[in-house]
Structure 1
Amino acid sequence: MEILLALVGLGVLASFVGGGSGGSSGGGSFGPGASGPPPTQDGTGASEALTGTPFDDVIYGRGGNDTIQGDIGNDYLDGNSGDDEVYGDVGDDTVLGGDGNDTLGGGTGLDFLRGGAGDDVLRGGAGDDTLEGAQNRDFLQGDGGNDVLRGGPGADYLSGNLGNDSLEGGPGDDTLIGIDGDYTSVPTSDGDGADTLEGWAGSDTIVLGNGDEAWGEFATAAAVGASDQRWINWFCITILRSIRRPRWR
């Protein structure tokens, strides 16, 4: 596995260690054989627009290219098969795409978003969200809050955005981007967030913000920045010119 680091700004610590864990690879909403809670609204095989209430809703899209919009409350929203758009709102929501090329949004709250079989787009919202891409090529983007983004076996694009985010590409040729992160041991940190980016298997591209850290599975990589040009292998840490002091993992 090769990882190319594009170092953005100062105060970047890049470390590589052996090991690493895989991303999610199950299919369908929660995987084959899994079942969710009983519905408060249930779609059909047609393409429909389904809207939640100010309570805790359970909405299934079933077949068709559905648009599902949650409301206030802790909602469970499942697009199921078809190319669906599924959005949470205020509350701690579970937003599932299922089969098809889906677009998922979290809204405000502590949300869980998961794609399925298809090329999915997942965007968190305000709050500490968990986004899982599952299969195929997925686009995952955090927002405000401390988010966890996990790709799957496809070539995924993960962007942490603001907050202390954790990004894991999983198998596949992934792109992982941490934005304006700060590493607490760097004296010049300004509190914008400390991101963790993990490459895993595949040829990954990792872009670090200020103070982010990254590692890969048995990786050999070139760390390239405005003033940094060093080689890193899986059993050691290279201290870049922009680092004031090292941290060993």
Structure 2
Amino acid sequence: MINLDTPTTPLAASNAGMNPKHQDEESVSDETIAELKAEHEAELEALEQEQADELAALETEWSEQSESLESDDESAWLALDTEKQSAVDALHAEHEAETSALIAQQEAATDDLITELDGAREALEAALFAEWEALEAQLTEEWNAAEAAGTADDALAADHQAQREAQEWDHADQLEAFQQEYEAFLSDQAAAQLEERETLEVEHEAEWQAHEDEFNARINALEEEQQQAWQAFEEEREAAFDELEDAHKEARDALKEEQENEWEEIVGDAGDDLVKGSKDDDELTGGDGDDTLLGSNGNDTLDGGAGDDFIWSGADANGKDTAFGGEGNDVIGGGGGHDFLVGGDTQGSVSGSDIIFASSGDDTLVGGSWMDLNQNGIVDIDDFMPENEAPTDNNDSGDKNNGSDSEPTDADTTDDTSGETEGTPGDTLWGGIGDDHVFASDDADIVGAGVGDDIVYGLGGDDTIFAGQTGDDFIDAGAGDDKVYASKGDDTVYGGDGDDLIYGGNQNDLVDGGSGNDELYGGKDEDTISGGDGDDTLTGGAGEDRFVFSTNSGADVVTDFDNHDDVLDFTGTGLAFEEISATATDAGLLLSWDGGSVLLAGITEPADSAWFDF
């Protein structure tokens, strides 16, 4: 806890001294401390270089294994592709040979059939010629006999001519019938041969499909085999790097413990420590106990650790300081410059009710845990940190939970990000002069924005938030039943989840209640007020106000609607004036639509489209 000898204001802290060492360190010279620090820094650098070399060697080893596995995969795919192409070529040649053989066989069969049919035609033509000669011989003999008898006349000549014509017609019919049979034989054979070729094509297609199925199965099997090999490779690689990382962390922790013990043995014990900064960029660590950390010039990093600590970053107007209160009920004050002040620590612990106040400069205040804000995606808090990094987690040792009140190396990193978030009774955060960023915790916090254009995130809990006296502030109250009091400036206030109470203050404010049954007051001047989801009570106050509604606004009440100056804004609903019903009630005019309603308290006139914006 803070005793009577501890500075309790930034002004008192600024006069407390400049050298970072304990009140009980007077017997140890600065030269001894400097030598010990240099020795520790050299040991740490040597260990970091050794571990970097080991990590590089492991990365090289696994990179070579990865390249070897990739080469094996490429060789396997090349071999399978070569085998597939060879099989394709062989099957294609086999099919071409079978098709050519069938075509040659069919052409020979067609030639044989044509030869046979041509022979039959020649035989038919010879037989018909013989019949013609026989008929001519018969008719010649009959004519000669008739001439000898004197009976040859025109009637006999006509009869002979008729017999010749009849024979010609008969021969022509026989030749035509034969030609039809000739063509039918050829057509039937062509159809049969076509069917044979189609059957062969079907057989070939089946063989191609079987070939594709076989190689597709082999491709899938190879892909699965290689995927399993890569999965096993990645698991082995990750295990190897995890093992090395664990070994490195164990070595770093051992060196840290050894150095802390050596420091305490040489410099002295700690407990409730007083640590003072110098003109340089200091890193001050209080450790366990009720500590007082006083920064000075330079970009300082201050970590109070466990206990009820008093931390002041220093008055340097150009310093970009970072302060972490850690566990306990801490008091943290910013000085000049753009400071980053956190009530919790880097590992997710937010226990304790802290008081944090900013000063001049554009500061960032975090009531909870810096790590918790990052991990939960609320905001990338690194965007608001000064250039010097956050300190590593402090784990002190000794009978009194001694603090490590030294000035370590600048190259600190945060390795452990697995801390659990614990609840706090609520923090008090006050912004100062400048454009501040204030992040409360998930508990019932009290937040004051201060002067300047400030940004405030209430996060969880039932918060009480005061906007600054001047400046255009942005306030997101977050979850919980919050109370927000805006002041001068064109402020923007979002109530978030919960039943909120919001006062707009002076100037032209934007007030959005969010989810829950909210009570919203616009205050003076021209305000824009939206109740959001839930049954809200809206009061515009003095000035020409705009009340914004959505299709699911709930059952809202506007207590002081002025139908001459105020506006009912339905631009985001897609509704038209005709879709809103108006009902006169004892309490006022009730406007209803599909999904919501609003009671205009005290209004007795019929609804007028001039009141609305669609």
Q: Give the TM-score normalised by the residue count of structure 2.
A: 0.30
Summarize the alignment of residues 7-46 of structure 1 with structure 2, pairs less than 5 Å apart: 40-44=310-314, 45=316, 46=319
Q: How many Å apart are 1:69 and its aligned residue?
A: 0.7
Summarize the alignment of residues 237-248 of structure 1 with structure 2, pairs less than 5 Å apart: 237-242=588-593
Match of 1:129 among 463, 466, 471: 463
Distance in 2, matches of 1:113 and 1:52, equals: 17
Q: How many Å apart are 1:244 and its aligned residue?
A: 6.9
Match in the other structure for 1:74: 353
Distance in 2, matches of 1:159 and 1:203, equals: 17
Paired letter, 2:519: T
Paired letter, 1:43: S
**1:102–1:119 CA contact under 8 A, matched in 2:** yes
Paired letter, 1:119: D
From the superposition, tell whether residues 101 and 237 of structure 1 become closer, same or farther in structure 2 (CA, over 3 Å): farther
1:113 aligns with 2:447: yes
Match in the other structure for 2:330: 57
**2:322–2:341 CA contact under 8 A, matched in 1:** yes
**1:174–1:203 CA contact under 8 A, matched in 2:** yes
Distance in 2, matches of 1:114 and 1:237, equals: 38
From the superposition, tell whether residues 109 and 222 of structure 1 become closer, same or farther in structure 2 (CA, over 3 Å): same
**1:223–1:229 CA contact under 8 A, matched in 2:** no
1:202 aligns with 2:515: no
Distance in 2, matches of 1:202 and 1:222, equals: 14
Match in the other structure for 1:215: 539
Distance in 2, matches of 1:125 and 1:229, equals: 38
Query: Secondary structure of 1:239's match?
Result: strand
From the superposition, tell whether residues 57 and 245 of structure 1 become closer, same or farther in structure 2 (CA, over 3 Å): closer
1:172 aligns with 2:507: yes
Structure with the larger helix share: 2
Q: How many Å apart are 1:248 and its aligned residue?
A: 6.0
Q: How many Å apart are 1:57 and its aligned residue?
A: 0.2
Distance in 2, matches of 1:139 and 1:245, equals: 27
Paired letter, 1:57: D
Query: Secondary structure of 1:214's match?
Result: strand
1:85 aligns with 2:420: no
From the superposition, tell whether residues 248 and 70 of structure 1 become closer, same or farther in structure 2 (CA, over 3 Å): same
Q: How many Å apart are 1:208 and its aligned residue?
A: 2.1
Distance in 2, matches of 1:98 and 1:63, equals: 10
Query: Secondary structure of 2:590's match?
Result: coil
Q: How many Å apart are 1:166 and its aligned residue?
A: 1.0
**1:222–1:229 CA contact under 8 A, matched in 2:** no
Distance in 1, matches of 2:360 and 2:581, equals: 48
Match of 2:481 among 146, 156, 159: 146
Paired letter, 1:64: G
Distance in 1, matches of 2:493 and 2:356, equals: 23
- Deviation string, structure 1 residues 29-69 (Cα, Å, up to 9, x no partner): xxxxxx79x97111112220000121000010111110001
Query: Secondary structure of 1:63's match?
Result: coil
**2:486–2:503 CA contact under 8 A, matched in 1:** yes
Distance in 2, matches of 1:245 and 1:177, equals: 16
**2:436–2:452 CA contact under 8 A, matched in 1:** yes
Paired letter, 2:527: D
**2:510–2:527 CA contact under 8 A, matched in 1:** yes
From the superposition, tell whether residues 198 and 64 of structure 1 become closer, same or farther in structure 2 (CA, over 3 Å): same
Paired letter, 1:53: G
Paired letter, 2:568: A
**2:529–2:540 CA contact under 8 A, matched in 1:** no
Structure with the larger strand share: 1
- Deviation string, structure 1 residues 210-244 (Cα, Å, up to 9, x no partner): 321201224631223334498xxxxx843222467
Distance in 1, matches of 2:363 and 2:518, equals: 30
Q: How many Å apart are 1:80 and its aligned residue?
A: 1.3
Q: Which runs of 5+ in 1 are unaligned?
A: 1-34, 181-192, 231-235
Distance in 1, matches of 2:449 and 2:513, equals: 21
**2:454–2:472 CA contact under 8 A, matched in 1:** yes
From the superposition, tell whether residues 118 and 239 of structure 1 become closer, same or farther in structure 2 (CA, over 3 Å): same
Paired letter, 2:439: G
Paired letter, 1:70: G
**2:353–2:427 CA contact under 8 A, matched in 1:** yes
Match in the other structure for 1:100: 434
Paired letter, 1:222: V
Instruction: Please give the root-mean-square deviation of Cα atoms over the aligned residues, in Å.
Output: 2.5
Q: How many Å apart are 1:146 and its aligned residue?
A: 0.2
Query: Secondary structure of 1:240's match?
Result: strand
Distance in 1, matches of 2:581 and 2:597, equals: 16
From the superposition, tell whether residues 200 and 228 of structure 1 become closer, same or farther in structure 2 (CA, over 3 Å): farther
1:224 aligns with 2:569: yes
Aligned length: 197
Structure with the bigger RCO (C-alpha within 8 Å, sep 6+) is 1
**2:336–2:359 CA contact under 8 A, matched in 1:** yes
Paired letter, 1:145: G
Distance in 1, matches of 2:459 and 2:471, equals: 23
From the superposition, tell whether residues 67 and 145 of structure 1 become closer, same or farther in structure 2 (CA, over 3 Å): same
**2:589–2:601 CA contact under 8 A, matched in 1:** no
Q: How many Å apart are 1:209 and its aligned residue?
A: 1.6
Q: Which runs of 5+ in 2 are unaligned?
A: 1-8, 14-291, 293-309, 345-350, 369-422, 544-561, 603-614
Query: Secondary structure of 2:438's match?
Result: strand
